[in-house]
Chain A
Amino acid sequence: MSVMLTKFESKSNRVKVTGLAFHPTQPLLAASLHNGSVQLWNYRMGVLVDRFEEHEGPVRGVAIHPSRALLVTGGDDYKIKVWDIRPQNRRCLFTLHGHLDYVRTVQFHHEMPWILSASDDQTIRIWNSTSRNCIAILTGHSHYVMSAQFHPKEDLVVSASQDQTVRVWDISGLRKNTPNSAPGTFDTFDNFSTVKYVLEGHDRGVNYATFHPTLPLIVSAADDRQIKIWRMSETKAWEVDSCRGHFNNVSTALFHPKHELIVSCGEDKTVRVWDLTKRSAVQTFRRENDRFWVLAAHPELNLFAAGHDSGLIVFKLERERPAFAMHGDTVYYVRDKYVRAYDINTGSDIGLLSVRKFGSPYVPPRTLSYNPAERAVVLTISSDNGLFELTPLPKDAVGEVKDSSVDGKRGSGHSAIFVARNRFAVLNKTSQLIEVRDLSNSVVKTIKPPVQTNEIFYGGTASLILSSTSSVVLYDIQQQKNIAEITTPPVKYAIWSADGSLVALLSKHTITIANKNFSQHTLIHETIRIKSGAWDDSGVFIYSTLNHIKYCLAQGDHGVICTLDNPVYLTRVKGKTVHCLDRSARPRTITIDPTEYRFKLALLRNNHEEMLYIIRTSNLLGQSIIAYLQQKGFPEIALHFVQDKNTRFDLAIECGNLDVALETARAIDRPECWERLAQQALKQGAHKTVEKAYQQTKNFDRLSFLYLATGSIDKLSKMQKIADARGDPMSRFHNALYAGDVQGRISVLRDVGMYPLAYLTAKTNGLEDLAAEILEAAGLTEADVDDIPSYGTSTLKPPPVVTATTDLNWPSLSAGESFFDRALANGNLENGGEPSYVNGFDSAGVAASAALDDWARDEEVHEDLEAEEGAWDLDADGEEVQPGVEQEEELPEVEADLGAGAAPGVSEVELWVRNSPFAADHAAAGSFETAMQLLSRQFGVVNFALLKPYFLSTYRSSHAYLSTLPTLPPLQLHLRRNPSESSPSRVLPITVRTLQSVRSELSEGFRAVSGAKLPEAQAVFRSVLRTLLLVPVSSDNEAKEWRDLVTLTREYLLGVTLEIERRRVAQDEPDNVRRSLELAAYFTHCQLQPPHLQIALRSAIGVFAKANNHATAARFARRLLELNPDPKIVAQARQRIAAGDRNPRNAVDITYDEFTEFEICAASFTPIYKGSPTVRCPYTNAAFLPEFNGKLEPLTQLTEIGAPSSGLPAPRS
């Protein structure tokens, strides 16, 4: 049978564990030992948290309070002790005395302050933990009471005794009455608590009995090696069934808190799992030497603890890790033996497939691999020595969810994954063979892996990752050889990044991040078990351990993002949201703060803009990040985080940013700072800063020397004065010396009484008078000093200043002027900062541009696309597709044997021509002749020369070329309108020109109109009308839209042509005011959009007003007002109307009757009033005077006026 999934094991050196209790919320387990000790373990971390040792002799009963930090224990010293387990307060709070023999079990009530205890003195007692008194004694058992348990909800107690009975007690009386709390009045207690049922059936003493958490059931375990299940009603209780299988005393039996299972343990050294409904054994876990004495279930989690002769184990019955796979933004996962799809964007979560009949009903599937091309999953399960099953998922999850047994394909194997769209690989661990199978589940290839393989993962195209005990191997399936091998602990999961360039290999305590051919990799160690991981979109690996969510950068840097109460299984990380499945396989999201790793990533990629963005928008401060930056060699960046002036100063010195250092030194103003600043500044030659620092520390000597060095004479003389004021002759002398001030020097020497030196100085510098003066002052004459040898003239003087360094500050270290300085100084980035926030892949470069363009376009045209697609749905008519398919399949039957003498088939372009009545489709097919005939018939087109570029570009863009084999001519591939339509009777060429592309061209024309670029506008409108001839329509709506576009464009073309003509007339025949006025007036009758009509009207108003046709101008103005123009234009219009009212006359008489409906002849530009004969353009329907019949239409220059035409053909539906 399967291996027990041991989570934690502790040895207590031949001391048996006799009592166990889980903490309801924390990963703590209390264990009472036979040696009198009570241990508190953190089973997740595997450490002993505390130890309580006051009992004398074995401690048998232990329980943790469901909501408070309390522990109760009962031992062979007859005592019940209550402990405070908080680390800071840990102590025994009180002891309950009263039992007269060993205490077997103890328990807290779930809401009342009651403690229940069972004892060998044949009684069960209930204690009030507040008053610390015994409030009830339940008597009736005639032998040791081995266990007593409260009912999880009702006021019932169940007890098990060596007298071979299980008893249920009604304790509701305890609630109603306040019992007499005076000690010594025990006999009254019986009134409150009575035996409700006595359950007889075991043949030996009963060791344990407990209630079902929700159902009215009891399970008991006895020395007769049986487990019995009992059912209760309001009035009676009876035995339901027994579970037989233990071959020695059964110590404990429990209901599984979540599933319909019973878990038991016994002295036969086994833990067994039973099906509650079938009462059959499900699993058995055996232990070599240790008899099991006690079993405890975690109230919430799938976690059990068992105590045995030499310690305890904590274990799970089943893997909790749900089988799942990500594709795009959808998680395919298994919950409760159903394959489900969860869309992380919409949150939709639907069941797609039942896998209830796959493998053992008690074991959940272990792995799931999803194939997007086939929309199929392959699952594995560990039961039955490993099985896999390949099942297609339903296209849409409506109606009943199918069971995979219907059309699933199965086989045995331990691990199974898709390796290509139509292949999956299955590992058989025992035979060490990997089979590559196709979708019909037949083996196409068998591989003997080069290493002992325990698990296989997808390894990129045609490759597998093989996990062995000490390494992972990247293995090429086609070639059957190792590509690369990395030494790592056994890898349990492999997670590929979205672009397939990196893979994270998870072991129990390590993560290996490798690139796709394993040529580079980093290893990260964790002390805590690693559970799962997912790649962030920016290329950071986010992973979860038992208690943390952490991140790891590709170069190996890692850190904690947040802590977890319970393990989760990460599926996808999107921005701040981590999507995961919890232990019960429910999708959850956790919001994290990605700032830290984003920042580190930006730092690694030198993405300063993003770093700045992060600095601005987050509160990413604190020692850790500063230390990180400093350690990584970025003190100048760290500088920007720091507020604390001391740290700022240190960082500024470290990175040599003198400005900041100076500023902070001022703020700190301590001598040692100034000294350090001076040193750093001196190194950089920033003498002004050095000067400042010396000044601050009153370091006069250095200051003077600095002035000497920089040649600052003025400053030196000032220093002299300062020295004077300070009364420091040495300093004065220095300064005088540095400054070359001989007089000064002499006067210092004189002042300090060093006359000989003063005299000689004066003498050697040729200051005879002064020398004489000194002599006199010293009371001597020339004669007294005539024994002094005569010295030549002194040449001592300071070096001349070559460069006036004093005025030049040396350039400061360039590092100081960083991106951040600029950004911070400007208060912003050039383009406003935030939008430039990008954190994509580096490689995005080229590919991104086209995609972005498209995205931008998508935004604009969204609605149209929908309309178009909607129309296509009409075409997806199942019935008609059928015959096409059949036809295709029939062909080979008939002609299969023709072999070498194969006759050419029908080409796709011929099908296009057959399938479409549109010239566009014929042009795309290259059948220009039929295309022309169609255009001529449908729209009377005769002048095809103009359409040549349109035909050719349509044809050109309908055929792609690809050579699949060398040296042979490439295949001409025909681009279809609907890629999912391959039936010969329905294929159509791609729509090279769409209505939407025409519309965008049209709007260009509008812009030209607004900008008064009339010839351009005319060209655009003509081109639009020509293009429209080669736009196929696919629905009535599109046909209508097409016609509207033709009409609209015609009106604009006519209008623009009129205006061009007017301008020509105005220029060429300035006297012909009348014609000019007429044309302006006609222009206002073209059906333009309001903004353009306003232009036409305003232009007309201007022309008419100028010609003193005020009456008509006023009428135009009124029409203008109806269009609700700008206030400014309104004002002008009102002026015109007023002028017209004042002077309601027209100076020039023109042919213009605005009150009768008319059309404008597009050739002669004259009105054709309603009812007069017209001929029309067969394409645009523009009106012409009858005299133009049979001529070439002047607007589009394509058609013959008045030619018969059938118009746009009906779209195929």
Chain B
Amino acid sequence: MDSSELYHVKQQFILGAYKTLVDLTLPDPSSPEYTPLLVYKARSHIALNDTQAVVQIVPADTENVALKAVAALARYVGATAAADKDAALEELRDLCVEIDSDDVEADEREKGYVRVLAGTAFARAGEVEEALETLGVSTNTENLEAVAIVVQVYLSINRPDLARKEFDRAKRWAEDDLLLQLIEASIGLVTGKDAYNDCNSFYTEQLGNPSLSSSHLLTARGVTRLLKGEVPAAKSDFEEAVSQQGGTPDAETLANMTVAAGLGTSKLAEAEQLWSQLASQHPEYPMVADVTAKEALFDELATKFVVPPLAVASA
């Protein structure tokens, strides 16, 4: 059983309250909780794309594999040059090998962190097989975070069937963990089983959770509402999320607001405005990249059709 603080931190981390976590005060380095809390804090920084902060809080000379892994992940995410990225990935690969040997000084939990962090990096790099292997798919390591990433990977390659299988396996040992519910919800998001009611209820429930608040949950609930076809309700969730984010929406909220704005209305000006805001502020966001690619595709395809001259009266 985790201590209350670690439990809380995990809960907030799972539910996307990264902003709260980066302000976390760490306990004394000798505390048994120190490493896990530091890992979560660092991961929150990474989640917010603030990889520089990780360098500052994780001691460079650490011998701890988990901390080394988190630093490597930060370098991977923060790197722009391909060579740097590869170096970070290599480092993670080495760490994975290291934890499999018997002589490393790390407890199971820390090993688990290494796998999860390495798996995250591999999945991000599109190395599906490597990610799955690292995360120990089909083996019985009871690491729910790893399961979550595996499920996500499966979902991203359109294999909800395998995702569900993995989830069902985890259900046997993971009791009623919050993360397990999140996994179930994300499967629901992709498959649309049960008309999206399950994932919608999950986020609605978590919104009522008295011990934390996170605008991510509002955005997520909004997305489930979008999926359920409740566009106005979704919009109001996004609006509220924006107001919780202090008026400047994050990429995710903005992206989904753009989606919602374009639905069912004839006034596209709002959608276009949101879109240009998203495209200029978050050019890295997958939706921007995707739509931009589609734009180029369109232009290319459109040229394949020969456009005859306009019919005009010769007189």
- Beyond the given A907-B158, A926-B290, A973-B189, please list 18 additional residue pairs across the A-B interface where CB-CB is below 8 A: A461-B208, A462-B209, A481-B4, A849-B236, A900-B129, A904-B157, A905-B157, A929-B301, A944-B301, A944-B305, A952-B295, A956-B275, A957-B271, A962-B220, A979-B227, A980-B195, A981-B192, A1188-B311
Q: Which B residues are closer than 8 A to A by beta carbons?
A: 4, 7-8, 11, 13, 16, 18, 43-44, 46-47, 73, 77, 120, 123-124, 128-129, 132-133, 137-138, 148-149, 152, 154-162, 164-165, 175-178, 182, 185-186, 189-193, 195-198, 201-202, 205-211, 219-220, 223, 226-229, 231-233, 235-237, 239-240, 242-243, 252, 255-256, 258-266, 268, 271-272, 275, 285-287, 290-291, 294-295, 297-299, 301-302, 304-315
In the complex, the answer to whether A444 meets B176 with C-beta atoms within 8 Å is yes
In the complex, the answer to whether B165 meets A892 with C-beta atoms within 8 Å is yes
Shortest 6 CB-CB distances between A and B: which pairs? A854-B232, A957-B262, A966-B47, A1191-B311, A1164-B313, A905-B158
Tell which of A386-394, A763-771, A996-1004, A1128-1136 binds the partner: A996-1004
Nearest B residue (CB) for A978? B229
> Assuming the A-B contacts A479-B4, A944-B305, A976-B227, are A968 and B120 also in contact, with contact meaning beta carbons closer than 8 angstroms in the complex?
yes
In the complex, the answer to whether B209 meets A460 with C-beta atoms within 8 Å is yes
In the complex, the answer to whether B311 meets A1201 with C-beta atoms within 8 Å is yes
Contact of B16 among A444, A966, A994, A1188 (CB under 8 A): A966
In the complex, the answer to whether B133 meets A965 with C-beta atoms within 8 Å is no
Contact of A892 among B120, B161, B196 (CB under 8 A): B161
Counting CB contacts under 8 A, is A942 at the interface? yes
Q: Which A residues are closer than 8 A to B by beta carbons?
A: 373, 420-423, 436, 438, 444-445, 459-463, 474, 476, 478-479, 481, 483, 500, 516-517, 845-851, 853-854, 857, 888, 891-892, 895-908, 926, 928-929, 932, 936, 941-945, 948-949, 951-973, 975-976, 978-982, 987, 990-994, 996-998, 1000-1001, 1004, 1027, 1163-1166, 1184, 1187-1188, 1190-1194, 1197, 1200-1201
CB pairs A–B below 8 angstroms (10 shown): A421-B205, A461-B209, A478-B176, A899-B132, A956-B287, A957-B261, A961-B286, A967-B43, A967-B77, A971-B156
Contact of A965 among B152, B242, B262, B291 (CB under 8 A): B152
Contact of A895 among B162, B228, B311, B312 (CB under 8 A): B162
In the complex, the answer to whether A905 meets B208 with C-beta atoms within 8 Å is no
In the complex, the answer to whether B46 meets A967 with C-beta atoms within 8 Å is yes
Q: How far is the CA of A898 from the CA of B259 in the complex (A)?
A: 36
CB distance from B10 to the nearest CB of A (A): 10
Residues of A close to B299: CB separation below 8 A: 948
Residues of B close to A992: CB separation below 8 A: 262-264
In the complex, the answer to whether A892 meets B210 with C-beta atoms within 8 Å is no
CB distance from A158 to the nearest CB of B (A): 61
Nearest A residue (CB) for B165? A892
Nearest B residue (CB) for A969? B286
CB distance from A855 to the nearest CB of B (A): 8
Q: How far is the CA of A900 from the CA of B65 in the complex (A)?
A: 24
Residues of B close to A967: CB separation below 8 A: 43, 46-47, 73, 77, 120, 124
CB distance from B170 to the nearest CB of A (A): 13
Q: How far is the CA of A185 from the CA of B258 in the complex (A)?
A: 103
Nearest B residue (CB) for A1193? B311
In the complex, the answer to whether A1192 meets B310 with C-beta atoms within 8 Å is yes
In the complex, the answer to whether B7 meets A888 with C-beta atoms within 8 Å is no
In the complex, the answer to whether A896 meets B165 with C-beta atoms within 8 Å is yes
> Assuming the A-B contacts A850-B236, A900-B138, A953-B271, are A891 and B161 also in contact, with contact meaning beta carbons closer than 8 angstroms in the complex?
yes
Nearest B residue (CB) for A1187? B314
> Assuming the A-B contacts A373-B201, A905-B161, A960-B256, are A952 and B298 also in contact, with contact meaning beta carbons closer than 8 angstroms in the complex?
yes
In the complex, the answer to whether A973 meets B162 with C-beta atoms within 8 Å is no
Contact of A942 among B7, B305, B311 (CB under 8 A): B305
CB distance from B146 to the nearest CB of A (A): 11
> Assuming the A-B contacts A478-B176, A926-B294, A992-B262, are A966 and B235 also in contact, with contact meaning beta carbons closer than 8 angstroms in the complex?
no
Q: How far is the CA of A435 from the CA of B189 in the complex (A)?
A: 29
Residues of A close to B272: CB separation below 8 A: 953
**Majority SS at the chain B contact face:** helix
Q: How far is the CA of A962 from the CA of B16 in the complex (A)?
A: 11
In the complex, the answer to whether B159 meets A902 with C-beta atoms within 8 Å is yes
Contact of B264 among A936, A994, A1190 (CB under 8 A): A994
Q: How far is the CA of A553 from the CA of B169 in the complex (A)?
A: 50
Residues of B close to A1004: CB separation below 8 A: 266
Q: How far is the CA of A980 from the CA of B266 in the complex (A)?
A: 26
Q: How far is the CA of A932 from the CA of B177 in the complex (A)?
A: 48
Q: How far is the CA of A943 from the CA of B185 in the complex (A)?
A: 43
CB distance from A1167 to the nearest CB of B (A): 13
Residues of B close to A904: CB separation below 8 A: 157-159
Residues of A close to B237: CB separation below 8 A: 847
Nearest A residue (CB) for B271? A953
Nearest A residue (CB) for B275? A956
CB distance from B242 to the nearest CB of A (A): 8
Nearest A residue (CB) for B154? A902
Residues of B close to A952: CB separation below 8 A: 291, 294-295, 298
CB distance from B106 to the nearest CB of A (A): 21
Nearest B residue (CB) for A930? B301
Nearest B residue (CB) for A371? B201
Residues of B close to A1190: CB separation below 8 A: 308
In the complex, the answer to whether B190 meets A973 with C-beta atoms within 8 Å is yes
Residues of B close to A902: CB separation below 8 A: 128-129, 132, 154, 157, 159, 162
Q: How far is the CA of A851 from the CA of B161 in the complex (A)?
A: 37
Q: How far is the CA of A978 from the CA of B228 in the complex (A)?
A: 8
In the complex, the answer to whether B311 meets A966 with C-beta atoms within 8 Å is no
Nearest B residue (CB) for A953? B262
Residues of B close to A997: CB separation below 8 A: 264-266
Q: How far is the CA of A969 from the CA of B149 in the complex (A)?
A: 11
Q: How far is the CA of A959 from the CA of B302 in the complex (A)?
A: 23
Residues of A close to B256: CB separation below 8 A: 960-962
In the complex, the answer to whether B149 meets A960 with C-beta atoms within 8 Å is no
In the complex, the answer to whether B201 meets A971 with C-beta atoms within 8 Å is no
Residues of A close to B227: CB separation below 8 A: 960, 973, 975-976, 979
Contact of A461 among B159, B205, B260 (CB under 8 A): B205
In the complex, the answer to whether A423 meets B176 with C-beta atoms within 8 Å is yes
Contact of A899 among B77, B120, B138, B229 (CB under 8 A): B138
Residues of B close to A1165: CB separation below 8 A: 313
Residues of B close to A1000: CB separation below 8 A: 266
In the complex, the answer to whether A990 meets B137 with C-beta atoms within 8 Å is no
Contact of B294 among A928, A963, A981, A1187 (CB under 8 A): A928
Contact of B208 among A460, A956, A1193 (CB under 8 A): A460
Q: How far is the CA of A438 from the CA of B301 in the complex (A)?
A: 53
Residues of B close to A976: CB separation below 8 A: 192, 227, 229
Contact of B159 among A905, A908, A929, A963 (CB under 8 A): A905
CB distance from B162 to the nearest CB of A (A): 6
> Assuming the A-B contacts A964-B185, A968-B149, are A500 and B208 also in contact, with contact meaning beta carbons closer than 8 angstroms in the complex?
yes
In the complex, the answer to whether A942 meets B306 with C-beta atoms within 8 Å is yes
Q: How far is the CA of A955 from the CA of B271 in the complex (A)?
A: 13
Nearest A residue (CB) for B156? A971
| Most chain B CB inside 10 Å of its own CB: which residue of A476, A857, A900, A1165 | A900
Residues of A close to B207: CB separation below 8 A: 461
CB distance from A136 to the nearest CB of B (A): 72
Residues of B close to A906: CB separation below 8 A: 158
In the complex, the answer to whether A1164 meets B223 with C-beta atoms within 8 Å is no
Residues of A close to B176: CB separation below 8 A: 423, 436, 438, 444-445, 478
Residues of B close to A993: CB separation below 8 A: 264, 266
CB distance from B284 to the nearest CB of A (A): 10
Q: How far is the CA of A1201 from the CA of B310 in the complex (A)?
A: 10
In the complex, the answer to whether A960 meets B46 with C-beta atoms within 8 Å is no
Q: How far is the CA of A895 from the CA of B164 in the complex (A)?
A: 13
CB distance from A1210 to the nearest CB of B (A): 24
| Most chain B CB inside 10 Å of its own CB: which residue of A908, A963, A993 | A963
In the complex, the answer to whether B311 meets A979 with C-beta atoms within 8 Å is no
> Assuming the A-B contacts A892-B165, A959-B287, A971-B190, are A932 and B302 also in contact, with contact meaning beta carbons closer than 8 angstroms in the complex?
yes
Residues of B close to A479: CB separation below 8 A: 4, 7-8, 11
